[in-house]
Structure 1
Amino acid sequence: MERTEGDHLATRGLRHHVVRIRVDDLLVEDRAAVVARGVGHLRAAEFLEQVRHGLEVVAARGANRAVGAGEGHRLTFDRIEWSERPAVKSPLVVCAFKGWNDAGEAATAALAFLIDSFDATEVGRIDPEEFYDFTAVRPTVRLSEGRTRVIEWPENSIHAAQVTGAEHDLLLVQGTEPSLRWGQFTGMVVDAARELDAHMVITLGALLADVPHSRPVPITGIASNGELVEKLGYERSTYEGPTGIVGVLHHACARAGVSSVSLWASVPHYVAAAPNPKAALALIRSFEGVAGVAVEALDLEESAEDYERQVSAAVASDPEVKSFVERLEQTIDEIQPEVTPDQIPSADAIARDFQRFLRQRGPNDPR
């Protein structure tokens, strides 16, 4: 039976969300293509290069307005509404934004998890009035205590966390991709990084891709300068085309001489449920490698396992979808590189897994 692009072949509950399984005949034939579903996420034709991320590409207007090195630079640190000056040591500035670069809400879910894990304190906000078209990104209304109506505006909040025993503390920027004045917005973030002597800016992103839910989440890492490329084994971007706020932010970092890294998770396009805990976990683990800190993520690991089980059950209920996913799995398995010595888990990773085993065993376990 012929399927159209929008056909929903199976629907199952995923916790409080809905899993919608979609199949596109063209996608099955073209294994390298990526089908993006839903407004606001990366488009299919852009993926093969966009996955490498447009660190050096930005509209001319945004480039001219981006804050960085050069004459006429004006510090915007004080334009952020700080409740207190963050007491952070050579921080890593970690950013994730809802919208175009947040497929499956994986990036913002990962950042929210970091905020909770490190018990980060909110220290600042960026006033949304200048940066959003509220007819496109609308505020929401909720009832407080069942009676009082409260308007909640799109926001970008900044949290600070001191990481015991680590070389760098954390400054976590959580928000929504702005509608307006991207150069000014990214300039504020970069100026905050410079004012606080940040070591590096790290952005988290996610895109819809031609990947199965049952395999490890592919992570693409991009570094902004040659030293980071060599140190982390990442690559410079050669992408040309549309970009999001993350691309403009990295461009502003480069102009200001601030090191930056971008981590991207590939999310199965046929699963509509959000957030995607498995992709969020993959971003967390990649962040650990860049940041040199360990993140306790047992709860997220359990959510990721539950997510995979429920999606697998939904897929198994439809023979056509099951066949499609099996083809994706076969493709991934064929191109999966062999494990090399440098891919063997580190001592820190082994120690973390052992500690997790001890916690799960419990004090009264005789083993």
Structure 2
Amino acid sequence: MHIVDEVVGLDGDTPLTMVVALDGFLDAGRAGALAAQHLADLSGGGSVVATFDVDQFHDYRARRPAISFVRDHYESYDAPRLVVRLLRDAGGTPYLLLHGPEPDNRWEAFARAVRQVVERLDVALVVSVGSVPMAVPHTRPIALTQHANNPELIREESPWQGELRVPSSAQGLLEVRLGEWGLDAQGFVAHIPHYLAQLDYPRASVALLEAVERAGRLTVDLTALRAAAEERETEIGRYLAANEEVGDVVAALERQYDSFAQAEAEGSSLLAEDQPLPTGEDLGRQFEQFLAGLDGPDGAEGRERPDDDQ
């Protein structure tokens, strides 16, 4: 990796936060990718202060970058980039953004490279964002799971009890290693309705950036992102109104969610009686047409996505 020798715009007196948003495994609804793009756009892309050698981390056969074929030749290759940008929030406070594709391999080397950035640029706190598909309805508030390598960073009681064995991620390993090196790191994972996990879901991006604001003491203008979220919700509502079977599945999720919420508030069991969740097979069958409807010529997915490398 390469770190700029002299970073212009840092006075060394303000505690520096670094936001981490990696595309790939921990990015249902592209919530983290959309959040990262929004932050970069607000600062006009900022300035790149560190770059990673993507060839060392990226599996090109598993995630093939796009390239344009124009009549009789190739052009406009979208090379993957993993970079750290220096940005400023609405109040002029500097912070860093590490974003790009999640490394497919050499996670330990990646963690050591991030450590160099943290120590070289005097980063006081690393805040990661991510998202996972969950059996929750889009009509209820976005839930976030908070985690940290320092218990003092946890501000809310975790809804999870005991130990959960889950597939790891580069961000997860990074948090563990930073903790072992005495460096503070925390993160937030948004719960995305699993029937929307393959679509851009900016509402979750808004929730993640609100959490980043609180954790990193930053101020972010979320106006454009909230407008995109409202537009997406309108599209989903319009489609559900025209497709009764799909609406029935969402209604079942709503009943299950409300039963869980009520049980939690009363301190009773979270296992609701006679409220079975739809099976994965049921959801998959019902929402094949749901995804197709939103991905059609009139759907939001027909619009061009912003370039992550701007």
Q: Per the shorter chain, which TM-score range?
A: 0.7 to 0.9
1:148: how far off?
A: 7.1
User: Paired residue for 1:152, among 78, 86, 92?
Assistant: 78
Match of 1:138, as an amino acid?
R
1:213 to 131, 138, 146: 138
Greater RCO, CA 8 A, separation 6+: 1
| Partner in structure 2 of residue 80 of structure 1 | 2
Gaps of 5+ in 2: 266-310
Q: Measure how far apart 1:81 and its partner are.
A: 5.0
Any conservation in 1 of the 2:91–2:219 contact (CA below 8 Å)? no
In the alignment, residue 178 of structure 1 is paired with which amino acid? P
The 3-state SS of whatever aligns with 2:33 is helix
Partner residue, 1:323: 248
Equivalenced residue count is 257
The Cα shift of 1:150 comes to: 3.6
Provide the residue aligned with 1:183 in structure 2. 108
Give the 5 Å matches for 1:201-350. 201-229=126-154, 232-233=155-156, 235=158, 238-271=163-196, 273-336=198-261
Report deviation, 1:177.
1.1
Aligned partner letter, 1:122: V
The answer on whether the counterparts of 2:28 and 2:198 sit within 8 Å (CA) in structure 1 is no
| Corresponding position of 1:197 | 122
What is aligned with 1:37?
Answer: none
* Matched residue type, 2:7: R
Q: Structure 1: how far apart are the matches of 2:259 and 2:59?
A: 46
Question: Where in structure 1 are there 5+ consecutive unaligned residues?
Answer: 1-78, 340-367
CA 1:124–1:138 in 2, change beyond 3 Å: closer, same or farther? same
Kindly tell me: are residues 139 and 326 of structure 1, through their superposed partners in 2, closer, same or farther at Cα, counting changes over 3 Å? closer
Is contact 2:28-2:197 (8 Å) kept?
no
* CA RMSD after TM alignment: 2.6
Which amino acid letter does the alignment assign opposite residue 314 of structure 1? Y
Structure 2 Cα separation of the partners of residues 314 and 83 of structure 1: 52
Q: How much does 1:290 deviate?
A: 1.1
Given that 2:29 and 2:199 are in contact with CA atoms closer than 8 Å, whether structure 1 keeps it comes out as: yes
Query: Which amino acid in structure 1 is aligned with residue 153 of structure 2?
Result: L
Alpha-carbon distance between aligned partners in 1 of 2:165 and 2:197, rounded to the nearest angstrom: 28
Tell me if structure 1 keeps the 8 A contact 2:89–2:220: no
Once residues 131 and 105 of structure 1 are traced to their aligned partners in structure 2, the CA distance between those partners, rounded to angstroms, is: 20
Specify whether residues 274 and 290 from structure 1 end up closer, same or farther in structure 2 by C-alpha distance, changes over 3 A only.
same
- TM-superposed CA distance for 1:131, in Å, is 1.2
- The reply to whether residue 114 of structure 1 matches residue 39 of structure 2 is yes
Contact kept, 8 Å, 1:138 with 1:154, in 2: the verdict is no
* Residues 144, 189 of structure 2: 8 Å contact kept: yes
Cα distance, 1:336 vs. partner? 3.2
Cα deviations by residue, 1:14-60 (Å, 9 ceiling, x for unpaired) = xxxxxxxxxxxxxxxxxxxxxxxxxxxxxxxxxxxxxxxxxxxxxxx
1:209 Cα deviation after fit: 0.8
Is the 1:138–1:153 Cα contact (8 Å) retained in structure 2? no
| Alpha-carbon distance between aligned partners in 2 of 1:140 and 1:126, rounded to the nearest angstrom | 20
